[in-house]
Structures are given as C-alpha cells and as structure tokens.
Amino acid sequence: MNTEESVAAHYSRGNVEDVLLGIIKAAGGNPQHFVPADLHGADQLHIGGAQATTRVATRAGVNAGSHVVDLGSGTGGVARHLAHDFGATVHGVDLTPQFVAAARSLTERTGLSSLATFSQGSILALPFDESVFDVALLVHVGMNIQNKDQVFAEAARVLRPGGIMAVYDIMLMGGDIEQYPLPWAQTPDTSFVQPPLAYSDALEQAGFEVDQEVKPLAEGIEFLEKSTASSGPVGVDAGALSNLMTAFRSGVLSPVEIYAHLP
C-alpha cells in the first residue's frame, strides 16, 4: 500500500454520510433537504470549522464570481460553504472515494450541485486544464502530503495569472511530535508536518509570491477545548484530539494560514 492509499484508508472508516445525516435528523431537520449550516460544521474537518472557512475564504478574496478548486475536499463541507455563503463555483478533489460519494450526495441534498462538484483523484495530478481557477484552497490536507512542491506546482498550473493560493494547515513550530495518533495520521508514516518556511519556500519555487502568514493558535486551542468537551468532529478519535491539544499547548504544532498569489 503506497502513501496515498494509506491516507485514503485512514479516512475511510465508518459511514460518514449516515453520521452527518443523523445530525440533521437529531435536530429535527429534513435529511433530504437542508442548508450547509444545519450540519453545524461537522462536515468541515479542520480547526475552527465553518468560522475558519469564512475567514480563509474572505482573506483569499473569494466572491460570487470566483472559480475555486478545493484541494483535498473531504465530504465537501468547505465547498458547500463557499457555494452557499459566497456564491462561488467550487470543484473539490479528494483521494477517498467514500468522501467523494458523500460530498456529491450531501451537496445534492442542499441544492448546491450546480455550484459545488467533486472528483476522486490525487491533487498531485489535477484533472484540469491550465489557468481555469481564480483561487486554490488547501485546508488541513498538507499534513498528509510529502511532496508539497508538486501540490503547489499543480495549483500554479491550474490557477489564472493573479490567482490566489490559500493554505490553512497544521504546521510544525519547533521540537518533535511525540504522541500519535493525530487527527490526520495514526502513525508518523503518513504524517508530513512541516514548518511555515517550508511551505513558503515550496510556494515560491512553484512561482507564487507569498503575501501573508497568520497563526491563529489561540483560536485553535479554544476550538479544541470545545470539541473535546462535546463529541468532537465527526470520525475523529478523542485520543487524537487530545494529542493535538498537547502539541498546540506545548508550542510544537499550530494552525497556520499562508496566502500567496501568482504574478
């Protein structure tokens, strides 16, 4: 099993669509027709949930005229949020077949299929022509990718001149990660966490100019505190969340946003 197959297997546990629809039912909603907010961010598997998605999209300049590619789109939560709240047209690409199937089904139930579409595949070889998107998003995906140079090279290829690359990942601040599992990996074998400088260097190598770096660590700790006090994000092991909290508090890891543009 290669790295991409191992990563896909990590995220293919349980029937995530049934769990998400169960959230709608438990709240008295109609699982056949609902709006993205009815899932309360449970379909957005990153620190900060829907609020963080709004923040990143706003900083990336996403609007109703934007064509966005979501690199590692999971169950489609980010794509649906951008389609519903911003009016953007979004295409998500994800390795995990189960996630892509769930993303399509959930998006159809929200009536957003004309704005948010999904493909199963590798973001190391995107199935798009050159210069077709305005914004590329990488949201809590880079931790599973060893070859970040190739990801950013592919993003640069499919973005138009002036296009924005927005990265929101968990990055290494100093020291070593001592405790696994973490939300994105059971063992170090599929965890490729790097410092912000490594991302910036890879972006510049791909032809981007880095504009801004933000480290919302306090917000990340607060989000994890609330998550661990409840049931936590869908499908994420409680021990993995606890280990991530330890790494945040010790200063080893932090959520980081990096924004760059193509000249």
3-state secondary structure of 87: coil
User: What pLDDT digit, counting tens, does each position of 3-46 carry?
Assistant: 665 555 555 556 889 989 998 999 899 999 999 999 888 898 89
- Percent of the chain whose pLDDT exceeds 70: 92
Confidence at residue 226, expressed as pLDDT on a 0 to 100 scale: 86
Confidence at residue 2, expressed as pLDDT on a 0 to 100 scale: 66
With vertex at residue 151, the alpha carbon angle to CA 145 and CA 155, rounded to the nearest 5 degrees, is: 150
Asked if residues 158 and 131 have their Cβ atoms less than 8 Å apart, the reply is: yes
Q: Which range marks the domain in which residue 171 is found?
A: 3-261
| CATH code for the domain in which residue 26 is found | 3.40.50.150
Confidence at residue 206, expressed as pLDDT on a 0 to 100 scale: 98
Per-residue pLDDT of the chain (263 residues; tens, 9 = 90+): 566 655 555 555 568 899 899 989 998 999 999 999 998 888 988 999 999 999 999 999 999 999 999 999 999 999 999 999 999 999 999 999 999 999 999 999 999 999 999 999 999 999 999 999 999 999 999 999 999 999 999 999 999 999 999 999 999 999 999 899 999 999 999 999 999 999 999 999 999 999 999 999 999 999 998 887 765 455 567 889 999 999 999 999 999 999 999 99
Taking each helix axis from N to C end, the angle separating 49-59 and 217-229, rounded to the nearest 10 degrees, works out to: 160
- Sequence letter at residue 155: A
Domain count, the chain: 1
Rg for the chain, CA atoms, rounded: 17
- Mean per-residue pLDDT of the chain: 92
Q: Tell me whether residue 149 is exposed, middle or buried, using C-beta atoms within 10 angstroms of its C-beta: 0 to 12, 13 to 18, 19 or more.
A: middle
Q: Tell me whether residue 36 is exposed, middle or buried, using C-beta atoms within 10 angstroms of its C-beta: 0 to 12, 13 to 18, 19 or more.
A: buried
User: What pLDDT digit, counting tens, does each position of 235-260 carry?
Assistant: 567 889 999 999 999 999 999 999 99
Q: Tell me whether residue 229 is exposed, middle or buried, using C-beta atoms within 10 angstroms of its C-beta: 0 to 12, 13 to 18, 19 or more.
A: exposed
Could you give the C-alpha distances from 57 to 68, 166, 187, 189, in angstroms and in order?
10, 8, 31, 31
The CA distance from 199 to 82, in Å, is: 24
What is the reported pTM? 0.93
Confidence at residue 9, expressed as pLDDT on a 0 to 100 scale: 56
Asked if residues 184 and 142 have their Cβ atoms less than 8 Å apart, the reply is: no
